[in-house]
Amino acid sequence: MQESPKYWKGIEELENSPEFVKNALTEFADFLPVKESHGTSDATVAPRRDFLKLMGFGLAAATLASCETPIKKAIPYLNKPEEVDPGIANFYASTYFNGQDYNSVLVKTREGRPIKLEGNPESPITRGGLSARAQAAVLSLYDGGRLQHFAKKGAKIDKDQLDQEVRNALAGAGRIAIVSHTIISPSTKKVIAEFAGRFAGTEHVMYDVNSASGLLRANGGVLPAYDFSKADTIVSFDADFLGTWLSPVEFARQYVTNRKVSSEKRSMSRHYQFETNLSLTGSNADVREPLKPSELGEAVLAVYNAVVGGGSASAYTDKSKKVAAAAAALQKAGSRGLVVSGSNDPAIQTLVAAINQKLGSAAVDVAAPSMIRQGDDAKMSSLLKAIGAGQVGAVIFYNANPVFDHPMGADLAAALKAGKVRTTISLNDRLDETGELCTYAAPDHHFLESWNDYEPKRGYLSLAQPVITPLFATRQAQDSLLTWAGNPTTYYNYLRTQWKGVLGGDFNKAWDKAVHDGVALGSAAPAAPAQAAPALDVNAAISAIKSAPKPSGIELAIYEKVGLGSGTDANNPWLQELPDPVTKATWGNYVTVPRAYAMAQKWEQGDVVKVSANGKSVELPVLIQPGQAIGTIGIALGYGRTKAGKVGNDRGANVLPLAQMRNDAILYTNSVTLAATGTTEPIAQTQTHHTIMDRKPVVQEATLAQYIKDPKEVTEYETISTPDGPQKPNKVSLWQDYEYKNHHWGMAIDLNSCIGCGSCVVGCQAENNVAVVGKQEVINRREMHWMRIDRYYSSATHKSDFEEKGKLATYAAMEDPSENPQVIFQPMMCQHCNHAPCETVCPVLATTHSSEGLNQMTYNRCVGTRYCANNCPYKVRRFNWFSYYTNEKFETVNGHMFTDLGRMVLNPDVTVRARGVMEKCSLCVQRIQLGKLEAKKQKRRPKDGEIVSACAQSCPTQAIVFGDMRDPESRISQLLRREDGERAFHVLDAINVQPNITYLTKIRNTESSEFNA
């Protein structure tokens, strides 16, 4: 028998030593015998060969590791919540109210994090619309500038310890003041009442940055609710009701209801606007006249005299035909007339109320009044004086920042610094200008982390529910107050108890429904006090107007911007970069100056001037503003924050110290002196050419008279000369048309409904992860917004000038807007052309046409030649000039793409675009896909209205209709059929790119269109 030869692995195996036996069983050596083999224990001496071995291994390991995609942490749910499916969004109803702007919202959450707010269509007030500010609020949730813990003098402190100290301090504080903006939450008010019950001497003082104290006083302590849809004649005296006044989202919807036209309804309201600055509302007015703030009273008086009669003669009557026309129109309209004023002067508001009363205006409701402004200027200023005098023992600032946003803020700051108040507590979400002067900080939750209720209008309730666990160690302010008041209930239970008295029937069911819907009918507020007598009678008001000091020199009108508002959200980059609807400026405020004055002073846009009043001054750049009343300037409040956070600090200057107090009300006007400083600061505008240059194919408009006469005559359609006579441009084509077998997505934008508010811009930004680029890059004309709103002013030239004065002179004259221009807004985004010029020129086929009519951008394939952008007639393509999420230049402004915290806001369905890649509107293709998938799961076709782009969703006036043009029953198909040949037009029809976006001609309710070119 032959024995198979035995091979030894080595001499060790042959010897079979115990050492070998031990090691033979382990495949790998336990350790690399670095030191041992060398026989020394000195770790610093690594033998050369071992060193090389380790080096080699390290290199190989590193190389191999780098071949793999880095593994990102993805942690699965240990216990998956029943309602959360990864990849599928959940919507929760909630409410946004920042002290001035009420919106009922739906919160879109993905995997438990809120990523977008949408309008709640269930709300009878905002009806699915959403303001830009509310859109942007979701980003504020992830704001790293929020205070992330309780603090004492800025240093972290234990919650219980803070509670203990605060309770002790409050116990012997004497007079305690709770300072807040308007609170429309009935339960919160109850909490404050309970707190006041525990600590005697507590008073709750509300104030508003954009105060309506004068309006409240003139109406006997009641804020009328308005319904602009019930008015055929609207006369507004400096009330920016579409942009910033009281409840713009609600008003915009009402306003537009009576402005939408069709060949069946050829009527619309007529809107007169008398104002100082060119506001968003003024831009939409049919008749607008600029006037000085000091003339406002006289102008109202003139209307009062005409409508009611009996007042002393107004100096303004003969001066303006437009005032007379407005008065006559009001008289004709009777109860269908409405006068509103944004003035905070009770005298003016008294006259306005009297006019409305005389008219019997159906649009004013004082029985179910609005709650949205409750601030009392008189109370606030007496409190501030008391604080200055050291009479207040403790102050609690509840989401209020009066050091910044009250005209007497500097006095308050001085008092707080001087320790005039023994105990100061801030419930603000950050150590802001006021908060950092307070001893204690007990930061409130963000509203998306909170329970709360709201009653914006008597009889209309809404709820906020938390949609995410609190991100930081904060506590809801109501809980803090309850805790300090010694009530151990949580605010949630407190709230439910409150609502038990409101909701009838089975409470649990009703409550669930209310939480689900976000809104409910009923009132939780205590029975309304009867409307008191107005603070002033009409005669006193007239004499107050007559005796008002006549300012000499330039008058300043302080206004609020549609985007940033009072400045509470100044650290929100989406709002900072949202172009102002009228000036198209971003990132800061400026002095709006009439052209004539700037020319007289030899000021160019961007020259910094010093504006002084009240012994205080601000330095801001000049922006030449058509429509600005002669002899006035305008400056926006809300800017100049110093403690808002990285994004919001030092943007512009705070103008509120230049406001004045008169008749115990804040007057947002003053006489100022201006002086050039010799320095310049460029203003970051997204649009720098302001007139339409006689380009009818770009944007079209007509008058109501023309429309009534013949709807087929209001739109100019270009034709192409062919051998068969003039033809529509799309009849002549070298191209093969696409065949759409399934869907053909399209959009219609009614220029009559679009008010230019910019809510769609932020909605699109949130939906599509559009980067923020900051001031300098906006100046470089590189903002990334997929959706923009073009704003054109009319110029003083007429079409006939071309013949009379020649082309060169006329074009040159057209560059400048007229002194009081008509304004037109045009939302502009990718037109999804069927014959897209961008598609043919891309060398690598990165942009192609889909089988459903979409012009698609394939980011992965894009090499970034920018040829498509050059060849886009609409200039809607946006290029990633830098890596906006890694380049440190953008860390301040686009910070949310840099941190794990901020990145939670990103929509996981949309790629964050890399450097060097082109991007543009996709018509929210992710939403289209989602809608189709949902329908497919249910084995049906998508229903019309089920799929809505983000812009259409957020539009407060429903100016944007999105849908399937292949479905003959869809709203868009019906609309286009109806408007074909009437108002429907394509921008730049003659170049035959055949867009899928259709616009509807704007109709103005004026005698003759002043909008020429």
Partner 1 sequence: MQHVSPVREPLVTGGKTYHDVTQDVCRQVEAAPNIRWMAALSVALFLLGVFFYSVYRTLWYGIGEWGLNKTVGWAWDITNFVWWVGIGHAGTLISAVLLLFRQKWRTSINRAAEAMTIFAVICAAMFPVLHMGRPWLAYWVFPLQNTFGSLWVNFNSPLLWDVFAISTYFTVSLVFWYTGLVPDFATIRDRAKGPIAKVAYSLLSFGWKGSAKHWSRYETVSLILAGVSTPLVLSVHTIVSMDFATSVVPGWHTTIFPPYFVAGAIFSGFAMVLTLMLITRVVFKLEDYITLEHIALMNKIMMVTGSIVGVAYITEFFIAWYSGVEFEQYAFINRATGPYWWAYWSMMTCNVITPQLVWIRRVRYSIPLTFVLSIIVNIGMWFERFVIIVTSLHRDYLPSSWAMFSPTIIDIGIYVGTIGLFFTLFLLFAKFFPVINMAEVKSVLKYTVDNGPTYTGHDPHHHVHQPATTHGVPASASVNYDKHD
Q: Which residues bind partner 1 (CB under 8 A)?
A: 687-695, 698, 777, 780-783, 788, 790-792, 807-808, 811-812, 826, 828, 837, 840-845, 860-867, 869-871, 873-875, 877-883, 887, 914-918, 987-988, 990-991, 993
Q: How far is the CB of 680 from partner 1 (least distance, A)?
A: 16
236 CB-contact burial (10 Å; exposed 0-12 / middle 13-18 / buried 19+): buried
**Structural contact between residues 746 and 960, judged by C-beta atoms closer than 8 angstroms:** no
| Buried/exposed code over 792-819 (b: 16+ C-beta within 10 A; e: otherwise) | bbbbbbeeebbeeeeeeebbeebebbbe
Q: Which is nearer to partner 1, 835 or 1004 (CB)?
A: 835
Q: How far is the CB of 954 from partner 1 (least distance, A)?
A: 21
How far is the CA of 725 from the CAs of 313, 719, 730, 993, in angstroms?
A: 63, 9, 14, 21
> Could you tell me which of 412, 417, 471 has the C-alpha nearest to residue 444?
471
Q: Which is nearer to partner 1, 308 or 991 (CB)?
A: 991
Q: How far is the CB of 572 from partner 1 (least distance, A)?
A: 23
668 CB-contact burial (10 Å; exposed 0-12 / middle 13-18 / buried 19+): buried
Q: Which is nearer to partner 1, 379 or 915 (CB)?
A: 915
Q: How far apart are CA 957 and CA 144, in angstroms?
A: 33
Q: How far is the CB of 297 from partner 1 (least distance, A)?
A: 38
Q: Which is nearer to partner 1, 254 or 992 (CB)?
A: 992
Q: Which is nearer to partner 1, 529 or 723 (CB)?
A: 723
Residue with tokens 């003959």: 968
Q: Which is nearer to partner 1, 877 or 983 (CB)?
A: 877
Q: How far is the CB of 771 from partner 1 (least distance, A)?
A: 12
| CA dihedral over 885, 887, 891, 894, signed as positive or negative | negative
Q: Which is nearer to partner 1, 428 or 810 (CB)?
A: 810
Q: How far is the CB of 556 from partner 1 (least distance, A)?
A: 29
**Structural contact between residues 138 and 115, judged by C-beta atoms closer than 8 angstroms:** yes
Q: Which is nearer to partner 1, 781 or 943 (CB)?
A: 781
| DSSP reduced 3-state for 436 | helix
Q: How far is the CB of 479 from partner 1 (least distance, A)?
A: 47
Q: How far apart are CA 462 and CA 495, in angstroms?
A: 12
**Structural contact between residues 691 and 794, judged by C-beta atoms closer than 8 angstroms:** yes
Q: Which is nearer to partner 1, 637 or 1013 (CB)?
A: 1013
Q: How far apart are CA 807 and CA 691, in angstroms?
A: 16
Q: Which is nearer to partner 1, 151 or 623 (CB)?
A: 623
Rg (CA), the chain: 32
Q: How far is the CB of 861 from partner 1 (least distance, A)?
A: 7
Q: How far apart are CA 552 and CA 555, in angstroms?
A: 8
Q: Dihedrals φ, ψ of 324, to 5°?
A: -60, -40
| CA dihedral over 966, 972, 978, 979, signed as positive or negative | negative
Q: How far apart are CA 489 and CA 236, in angstroms?
A: 47
Q: How far is the CB of 68 from partner 1 (least distance, A)?
A: 17
704 CB-contact burial (10 Å; exposed 0-12 / middle 13-18 / buried 19+): buried
Q: How far is the CB of 786 from partner 1 (least distance, A)?
A: 11
Q: How far apart are CA 517 and CA 387, in angstroms?
A: 43
Give kind and range of the element (H or E) at residue 279.
none
Q: Which is nearer to partner 1, 690 or 1002 (CB)?
A: 690
Give, in degrees to the nearest 5, the angle at Cα 554 between 406 and 796: 115
Q: How far is the CB of 221 from partner 1 (least distance, A)?
A: 46
Q: How far is the CB of 215 from partner 1 (least distance, A)?
A: 36
Q: Which is nearer to partner 1, 608 or 841 (CB)?
A: 841
Q: Which is nearer to partner 1, 505 or 843 (CB)?
A: 843
Q: How far is the CB of 795 from partner 1 (least distance, A)?
A: 11
| DSSP reduced 3-state for 789 | strand
Q: How far is the CB of 921 from partner 1 (least distance, A)?
A: 13
Q: Which is nearer to partner 1, 865 or 974 (CB)?
A: 865
| CA dihedral over 387, 390, 396, 402, signed as positive or negative | positive
Do strands 855-857 and 337-341 pair parallel, antiparallel, or not at all (unpaired)?
unpaired
| DSSP reduced 3-state for 196 | helix
